[in-house]
Chains A and B, each alone.
Chain A
Amino acid sequence: MKPAPFDWHTPGSIEEALALKARFGEEARFLAGGQSLVPAMNFRVAQPAVLVDLNRVVGLDAILAEADGTLSIGAMARNARVERDATAGNHPILAEALHEVAHPQIRNRGTLGGNLSHADPASEMPAVMLALDARFVLRSARGARDMPAASFFLAPLTTALEPDEMLAEIRIPALPRGAGTAFLEVARRRGDYAMMGVAAMVARDADGVCTAARLAFCSAGPTPMLAPRASAALVGTRLTEADIAAAADLARQEVEPMGSVQASPAYQRHLAGVVAARALRLAWERAA
């Protein structure tokens, strides 16, 4: 389990990094935390000819709160830092979900941008991004574009990134007024990818009526999945146990789990209802 040979480039600036990627295209991969890419290289399932190492790029790891409440996270911000960062703390679901992502030693190295670019459908953070309605800024030597998280994930391990593009920044809008969030998953062991996981956001008004809801699942299909019908069904309710059960039921129907070594699709579907109900209760309580 030793990686195949490659050429290694360590750009110091974003521009340099983008120029290298433009030059080498599909031949090259960005190396972020390496916590998904290097295992794949050690197994030789990935054999990139060129690595463009982002670890020495300046200015790609900032975590900032903007005036309108948007949280901006640079792609190279390490997961351990995002987990602890006070600014990112305005979105407690980030730390709550990151806590389930691997182990501290992996999070010390792995980056949020790398995690999202890897686009593992079992991964927690893509689902969180969907629930938070985040937007991603993609950059290339040609320029920049941004897109909603929901458009970024196309298929397992496949994103909307063009061969010359980098995920540069994650932009998370302020939560709606009166919002509460929760992340919950069922995994075999701590730190494993989830058999089923859900990121939930619900908002309530002063009268205790739900004004907004977003449920997004991981390990529920080929990409992270929103459950629009379950989410819509909650708006206007008071999230009574019956409302939650009805939404969980819808969610169970909306997910498209593919099954894995650890879980049959039927069990995963069942779990979708379980975690949805539990996360909704928790998020609603937090919204109070």
Chain B
Amino acid sequence: MSRIPVTVTVNGVAHRREVEPRLLLSDFLRHELGLTGTHVGCEHGVCGACTIRLDGAPVRSCLIFAVQADGHAIATVEGLAPTRGTLSVLQQAFQDAHGLQCGYCTPGILMTVSAFLEETPDPSEEEVRHALSGNLCRCTGYQHIVDAVLLAARRLREAR
């Protein structure tokens, strides 16, 4: 099977690999690059666990082939914290509000919400719930996730 060279910038670092066209971007990130923070829960676009940002926009990494990401910039959960050992404002809010239980859905939710809060810095609870509606969480019942997003939004506004 032919392999195709791809160069992808992930969290600011360029990676070059040769891959089969059919390799899913989610598998590429996790198993080629070892960035296992991006999770896989369905491989048909519904659960949102694999959500990453492609050139800034949150998308499902299970529905994109790695070869399609050639030349693009990707952000994953591993790139959210400013430095190792610290948490971003958003991540900290998730800890403070108990916005995760098993934590499996969490990376996808963080990537969705990081984009959402850039566009909507002062969201209502209703808007937050809409923004979260494409990410399934089976553990939390969402309430603490909603609280975490509202808390992060407030802290981000106050920091500005």
B86 interface hit (Cβ, 8 Å): no
B10 interface hit (Cβ, 8 Å): no
Flag B59-85 by CB within 8 Å of A: 1 or 0 each: 110111101100000000000000000
Contacts of B60 in A (CB 8 A): 35, 105-106, 109
Docked Cα-Cα span, A39 to B44, in Å, equals 5
Docked Cα-Cα span, A195 to B24, in Å, equals 31
Contacts of B112 in A (CB 8 A): 104-105
Decide: B58 and A38 in contact? CB cutoff 8 A: no
Tally of chain A residues near chain B (CB < 8 A):
29
Docked Cα-Cα span, A14 to B134, in Å, equals 33
User: Given the known A-B contacts A8-B67, A55-B68, A104-B134, are A35 and B45 also in contact in the complex, defined by CB atoms under 8 Å?
Assistant: yes
Residues of A contacting B: mostly: loop
Contacts of A53 in B (CB 8 A): 68
Closest B-chain residue to A78, C-beta based? Answer: B57
Docked Cα-Cα span, A6 to B58, in Å, equals 26
Contacts of A191 in B (CB 8 A): 133-134
Decide: B134 and A80 in contact? CB cutoff 8 A: no
Docked Cα-Cα span, A55 to B51, in Å, equals 19
Contacts of B122 in A (CB 8 A): none
Contacts of B65 in A (CB 8 A): 8, 34, 38
Closest A-chain residue to B115, C-beta based? Answer: A104
Contacts of A103 in B (CB 8 A): 48, 133-134
Flag A27-59 by CB within 8 Å of B: 1 or 0 each: 000000011001101110000000101010000
Contacts of B27 in A (CB 8 A): 2
Tally of chain B residues near chain A (CB < 8 A):
30
Contacts of A34 in B (CB 8 A): 63-65, 68
Decide: B44 and A1 in contact? CB cutoff 8 A: yes
Flag A73-99 by CB within 8 Å of B: 1 or 0 each: 000000010000000000000000000
Closest A-chain residue to B1, C-beta based? Answer: A5
Decide: A106 and B64 in contact? CB cutoff 8 A: no
B4 interface hit (Cβ, 8 Å): yes
Q: In the assembled complex, how far is the CB of residue A11 from the closest CB belonging to chain B, in whole angstroms?
A: 13
Decide: B2 and A7 in contact? CB cutoff 8 A: yes
User: Given the known A-B contacts A34-B63, A35-B63, are A105 and B44 also in contact in the complex, defined by CB atoms under 8 Å?
Assistant: no
Task: Choose from B21, B24, B45, B64 the contact partner of A7 (Cβ within 8 Å).
Answer: B21
Docked Cα-Cα span, A42 to B131, in Å, equals 26
Decide: B57 and A42 in contact? CB cutoff 8 A: no
Contacts of B57 in A (CB 8 A): 80, 108-109
Docked Cα-Cα span, A42 to B22, in Å, equals 10
18 A–B contacts, CB within 8 A, in A order: A1-B43, A5-B20, A5-B21, A8-B4, A8-B65, A34-B65, A41-B22, A42-B24, A42-B43, A80-B57, A103-B48, A104-B134, A106-B60, A108-B59, A109-B63, A109-B64, A189-B133, A190-B130
Kindly list the 7 A-B residue pairs having the minimum CB-CB distance in the complex, ordered from nearest. Answer: A103-B134, A8-B21, A39-B44, A108-B57, A1-B43, A38-B63, A3-B22
| Additional A-B contact list (19), CB under 8 Å, known A38-B65, A109-B54, A109-B59 | A4-B22, A5-B22, A7-B2, A8-B4, A8-B67, A34-B64, A35-B45, A35-B60, A35-B63, A38-B45, A51-B21, A55-B68, A103-B48, A104-B58, A104-B112, A105-B48, A106-B45, A106-B134, A109-B60
